[in-house]
Structure 1
Amino acid sequence: MFTSLAGRTAIVTGGSKGIGRGIAETFANAGVNVVITGRNQADLDRSVADLADAPGKVSACQADVANPEDSRRVVAEAVQRHGGVDIVCANAGIFPSARLEDLSPEQLEEVLAVNFKGTVYIVQAALAALTDSGHGRVVITSSITGPITGYPGWSHYGASKAAQLGFLRTAAMELANKNITVNAVLPGNVMTEGLDGMGQDYLDQMAATVPTGRLGTVADIGNAALFFATDEASYITGQSLVVDGGQILPESQQALAEL
């Protein structure tokens, strides 16, 4: 039995859709008050309305975490609305595809700004509030792509996700004496609205690469993030948890065929 997180406050960046929306829903269903961020107000409004019946209160703050001023404003809003911040889920991320020979400086900077710098900025902005909490939690959404695997067209994305893990190890050390833990979840293939319209054959091909035979759900990632936020996880910091249905395990396609 885990200690209840009801009444605590979480910020979920990129929380208006996809994995971030799943994390926000999981936390709100656990009674956590959640402030979601995103760049599109309509997406934010839709998510807040959809989660209105959750035990925890969900509200939105339009922001671009690649801008440190926006990150500071998000934290200030969360503190004003709920009296503090206990959990930061640094989830905001983009994944435009670009082969190395075509990758422009602007594309590289945009991906690093949102995925990596945005993680640093939101954690920096929340440090005082997380310290005041007495049980501060930072949960980073990284990926298997970059830290463990590669995929053509995602050299910049993979680099940003690996950079998050380099950041978390030293951040975890620096923040340990403030009772703040810093951990990461590494999703594999997860079914989100971004895959809508890809067709069943495509989805079946993706699922066939996973030993469990299915794509992950946003709730699978949300539950992992929720665990890292619990009191019972207070002695875990600087760690990364792969949530991929065993996707990284096979050494070849033949290994999957033998199952």
Structure 2
Amino acid sequence: MSKVAVITGGAQGIGKALGERLGKDGFHIVISDMNIDLANKTVEAFKNNSIDAIAVQGDISKQDDQFHVVDQAVKQFGSVDVFINNAGIDQVEAVEDITPNNLEKIFNVNVFGTVYGIQAATKQMKKQENGGKIINACSIAGKTAFQLLGAYSATKFAVRGLTQVASQELAQFNITVNAYCPGIVGTDMWDRIDAGMVDYKGQKPGEAWQEQVDNIPLKRSQTPEDVAKLVSYLASEDANYMTGQAINIDGGIEVH
């Protein structure tokens, strides 16, 4: 019987690439996303490529929504074998400029949302004979500092800590918990960072991005598909003995 993978924020970007790869690996795919129209379009594209998938509207910062997507996955496919806390947001601003509203918003999504995802997945996986795998989106910003990403970095350090604690607490139920830590991915986030550097450092548009790419030992920016290859491993039986890890997939930027 095919296994089932739930992916939050799966309608586009890295989340969509995760769904494509795991679908090709034989998983049924459940996409949770706030933008249900875009999620439905992604599901349609998946089905055109012979990937069995459904879309569920959900806001990860709401605990009930995280439990709802698990319920829908079980209703449609019978289990949740892999739950990927992929959805998240970024903020680009100096530490001295972070507002209470912005700090609350990013922690509600990136940290609270991860906690709620772990809780929802755990409730279902404890019922299953074979347990399951929880995979969290961390970042190299959860291991080292990047200017203008103070709040974002704080949330990703928190995700790394949650990953380690949850892995210890859930091992007895045959549930593993790991995280993937991407580097410089060509997404809207880095467009915003680049724009922020124009004001913060006086750089020209595109300079901050190119500076980061030039510092990558492999000398190219990262694609969502690069991330998906690592997550494919973490979701597979080959990773059954791995838990509590936050693994870099960044072209060699962070080597500590």
What SS does structure 1 have at the residue aligned with 2:91? coil
Seen in structure 2, the aligned counterparts of structure 1 residues 249 and 180 have a Cα distance that, compared at 3 Å, is closer
Percentage of identical aligned residues? 32
Are 2:32 and 1:37 equivalent residues in the alignment?
yes
Which one of the candidate residues 238, 247, 250 is aligned to 1:244?
250
In 1, the alpha carbon distance for the partners of 2:177 and 2:233 equals: 12
Aligned-residue offset at 1:73: 0.7
Q: Which residue of 2 aligns with 1:56?
A: 51
Q: Which residues of structure 2 form unaligned runs of 5+?
A: 195-204
CA-based RMSD? 2.1
* 1:145-188 deviations in Å (ceiling 9; x for gaps): 1x322222211110100001111111101111111100010000
* 1:68-108 deviations in Å (ceiling 9; x for gaps): 01111111111101011000001110002122222111111
Aligned-residue offset at 1:201: 6.7
Q: Which residue of 2 aligns with 1:140?
A: 136
Aligned-residue offset at 1:195: 5.7
What SS does structure 1 have at the residue aligned with 2:156? helix
Contact map agreement 2:90 2:189 (CA 8 A) in 1: no
Aligned-residue offset at 1:245: 0.3
Which one of the candidate residues 214, 218, 240 is aligned to 1:212?
218
In 2, the alpha carbon distance for the partners of 1:236 and 1:79 equals: 25
TM-score (norm 2): 0.88
Seen in structure 2, the aligned counterparts of structure 1 residues 133 and 74 have a Cα distance that, compared at 3 Å, is farther
Q: Which residue of 1 aligns with 2:179?
A: 184
Q: Which residues of structure 1 form unaligned runs of 5+?
A: 1-5, 251-259
In 2, the alpha carbon distance for the partners of 1:85 and 1:241 equals: 23
Superposition pairs for residues 17-166 of structure 1, below 5 Å?
Answer: 17-131=12-126, 132=128, 134-145=130-141, 147-166=142-161
In 1, the alpha carbon distance for the partners of 2:35 and 2:170 equals: 32
Aligned-residue offset at 1:135: 3.9
Seen in structure 2, the aligned counterparts of structure 1 residues 102 and 19 have a Cα distance that, compared at 3 Å, is same
Contact map agreement 1:17 1:47 (CA 8 A) in 2: yes
What SS does structure 2 have at the residue aligned with 1:97? coil
Aligned-residue offset at 1:41: 1.9
* 1:48-82 deviations in Å (ceiling 9; x for gaps): 12222334312111110100011111111111010
* 1:100-146 deviations in Å (ceiling 9; x for gaps): 2221111111101111110110110121322215140011110001x
What SS does structure 1 have at the residue aligned with 2:48? coil
In 1, the alpha carbon distance for the partners of 2:216 and 2:66 equals: 36
Greater shift, 21-30 or 198-207, is seen at 198-207
Contact map agreement 1:85 1:133 (CA 8 A) in 2: no
Number of residues paired by the alignment? 244
Seen in structure 2, the aligned counterparts of structure 1 residues 84 and 47 have a Cα distance that, compared at 3 Å, is same
In 1, the alpha carbon distance for the partners of 2:70 and 2:161 equals: 24
Contact map agreement 2:29 2:53 (CA 8 A) in 1: yes
AA in 2 matched with 1:119 = T
Runs of 4+ in 1 over 6 A off after TM superposition: 196-202
AA in 1 matched with 2:57 = Q
In 1, the alpha carbon distance for the partners of 2:48 and 2:219 equals: 32
Contact map agreement 1:23 1:219 (CA 8 A) in 2: yes
TM-score (norm 1): 0.87
Contact map agreement 2:4 2:77 (CA 8 A) in 1: yes
